[in-house]
Amino acid sequence: MEEKELQKLVEKISIDYFGKLFRHKASFNGRLRSTGGRYLLGTHNIEINKKYLDQLGMDELIGIIKHELCHYHLHLEGRGYQHRDQDFKVLLKQVGAPRFCRQLLDKPKNRTLKKLLIYQCDKCQLQYKRKRKIDTSRYVCGKCRGKLKKAKEILL
């Protein structure tokens, strides 16, 4: 789907579900990571995350557009357009828009795997689970003051 098609789709959804014209710009923004779309208060434009269309399909995209149009129309009317406002919640239900979008299937490439480090005392065998490395030459067991050593590392 291209930007022109997105613009026409947003305009159609605005008329069909809200009975009002969408007079601003709708575009894809590839830099959005944690959200399906956003309404820009200053310009009144709507930006959509294209990954949602690619991975979750047209139905999810339409839901995101409806959600952002709720922000758009309520803001222009001077009514409560934020997630916490009653006007916003009521309009979401009327048009069948989701309050939150679903999660994407893949994780961003720049995130690393989480790991769990397990340290064990030489004397009493007590285990310590840590997310970060510890300096075993500086720290000792809190129970018996024995020497700690790295037992294993688990990837989560």
- 54-58, 79-83, 99-103, 108-112: least confident range: 108-112
Q: Which residues pair with 27 in a beta bridge?
A: 47
pTM over the 0.85 mark: no
Let me know if 2 is a catalytic residue.
no
90 shares its domain with 120: no
Lowest mean pLDDT among 27-36, 97-106, 123-132: 97-106
Domain that holds residue 39: 3-95
Going by C-beta distance under 8 Å and a sequence separation of 6 or more, which residues neighbour residue 23? 44
pLDDT in tens, 16-56: 999 999 999 999 998 998 899 999 999 999 999 999 999 99
Instruction: Tell me which of 3, 47, 68, 153 is the catalytic residue.
Output: 68
Q: Is 151 part of any domain?
A: yes
The answer to whether residues 49 and 7 belong to one domain is: yes
Percent of the chain whose pLDDT exceeds 70: 96
Question: Residue 110: pLDDT band by 50, 70, 90 thresholds?
Answer: low
The total number of structural domains that make up the chain: 2
For the cut 60, the answer to whether the pLDDT of residue 108 exceeds it is: no
**Residue 102 belongs to a domain:** no
CB-CB contact of 72 with 44 (8 Å)? yes
Can you tell me which residue has the tokens 């939150």? 100
Task: Tell how strand 37-39 and strand 26-28 pair up.
Answer: unpaired
Question: What is the Cα 46 distance to its own chain's centre?
Answer: 17
In a domain, 33, yes or no: yes
